[in-house]
Amino acid sequence: MNVFDAVLLDRDGTLIEDVPYNGDPALVRPMPGARAALDRLRGTGLRLGVVTNQSGLARGRFGAEQLELVNARVEELLGPFDTWQVCPHDDTDGCRCRKPRPGLVHAAAAALGTTAERCVLVGDIGRDMAAALAAGATGILVPTAVTLPAEVAAAPAVAPDLTSAADLILRRDELHPTGPHRAHTAGTVLVVRPDSVGDVLVTGPAIRTVAAAAGRVALLCGPRGRAAAELLPGVDEIVEWPLPWIDPAPDPVDPAATAALVGRLAALGADEAVVFTSFHQSPLPTALLLRLAGVGRISAISDDYPGSLLDVRHRVPSGVPEAERALSLAAAAGFPPRPGADLRLRIREVPDAPERGPYVVVHPGASVPARACPPGVSARIVAALAAAGHRVLVTGSTAEKQLTAEVAGSAGVDLGGTFGLADLAGLLAAADCVVVGNTGPAHLAAAVGTPVVSLYAPTVPFGQWAPYRVPLVRLGDAAAHCRDSRAAVCPIGGHPCLAGVDPAAVVAAVELLSAGRPA
């Protein structure tokens, strides 16, 4: 498997019917389709584990021997599991393992010889999804009658039953075939990602797979993504050009400028091109220019009929994380990831931190206004973190200096306009945690492996655009009316999806992520 090594499953309500505080093996009833779904997963070589809260032990509702008998009955009915991870504590015990804390996920991953980010956790309630995200794992929610609507709205992925969850897991891996691998070529491959910082960063794993087989990689990007392009491993040359069919504030199409771009692309002498886009963008205008520039082979994801513009027309189902969407295109173009490859976001080199730790970073701005937390809320978050004993650094661009000064107030350290993207990467890498909306610095934090408290405006799907394979906590109203609207400016007065974020919840999220790191 390329994407996952293991599937972790909650027990009660996911594998078997939920009988509160059950210590009787005779009451074990598998969920519909559970055995067949698990056998399909086993048949692919995936390892399976159970991660379950069992506070009945702490409360004296059953003993350890009864728990073992119940678990043995589960295996008798559903087949063997490669690891069982049980939290015996109550909510009041303050342990590291009880979900929504990520301890069980980390323990299961270690027992299975892998890491949390290469695991998917299937569960039936929000605690399961929170534990998965806090560990950096993938979460799939299979709702039951007890699942809250808010938990369904906030989940990174939802499946109606275990059969469908298995389908989703296997389909995501099938998008990344492992071979045969292309022979190394001395030619130039042009990769295209003409968008913003976050878009370029999430395409990084796919660009690395192309670079593994190409003699040389050139990247066509826009001005808003140039700084991120300079950080990506595997890129040998950068061509910066604003594309009016991609840029959110485009200039009119200029025939002379278009002709100049065609000439610039022709001068690269690229043997082929891979055009990466977001799920709502078309690659076909870019493909037309590449044809005019003489590029012989062009690959892209396109739902629209491409005519002769594409040699490889790839399609991806909705809901796939953007990093995996790009990886699947690279694989379709003949550049699959190596088995067990590191699929996380990465940068070339992490600079030294320009500030001494420990500290928490709050980044209040966003490239799209609808995704930014209201300044007053951000200021209260900074004050709450400082009151909890954290040193809080507030970051932003030169254009955001007024915002960062307001948010930092007297409780935080205002670093607005101080750092370029590379230095910001060093600052984020040394942070305990980053509090940020769904914008470029969230993906930069993922690229340097720093946990994220994601103040996520649901204008774009969380499952596609959440920080990829990094520990995180999602906050904000996932069911707000702006959901999936792709709005650039908040269409609802008062910005309700983020205006209601409780600063105390941010403090708790930072503590959860700090305490949840594996020893």
Q: What is the β-pairing status of strands 360-363 and 188-193?
A: unpaired
Q: Which two tokens stand for residue 256?
A: 């002379």
Catalytic status, residue 10: yes
Question: 509: which residues sit within 8 A by CB, 6+ positions away?
Answer: 433, 453, 473, 475
* Euclidean distance between CA atoms 11 and 13, whole angstroms: 6
Q: Which of 10, 128, 432, 477 is catalytic?
A: 10
Beta bridge partners, 362, equal 394, 435
Q: Which of 9, 117, 12 is nearest to 54 (CA)?
A: 12
* Euclidean distance between CA atoms 377 and 368, whole angstroms: 17
Catalytic status, residue 18: no
Which stretch of DSSP H or E encloses residue 191?
A: strand 188-193
Q: Which of 320, 324, 321, 322 is nearest to 341 (CA)?
A: 324
* Euclidean distance between CA atoms 197 and 364, whole angstroms: 16
* Euclidean distance between CA atoms 449 and 488, whole angstroms: 28
Q: How far apart are the first and last CA of the chain?
A: 27
**H-assigned helices in 190-346:** 197-202, 204-211, 226-229, 255-268, 284-292, 322-332
DSSP string, 415-473: -TT---HHHHHHHHHT-SEEEEESSHHHHHHHHTT--EEEE--TTS-HHHHSPTTS-EE
Q: Which of 5, 12, 124, 432 is catalytic?
A: 12
Q: Which residues of 237-250 are buried (b: 16+ CB within 10 A; e: fewer)?
A: eebebbbeebeeee
* Euclidean distance between CA atoms 376 and 364, whole angstroms: 10
* Euclidean distance between CA atoms 372 and 357, whole angstroms: 26
How distant, in Å, are the alpha carbons of 168, 281, 307, 438, 494 from that of 460?
A: 20, 13, 30, 9, 19
Helices (H) and strands (E) in the chain, counts: 19, 17
Q: Which two tokens stand for residue 397?
A: 């661009």
CB 274 within 8 A of CB 250: no
Q: Which residues are catalytic?
A: 10, 12
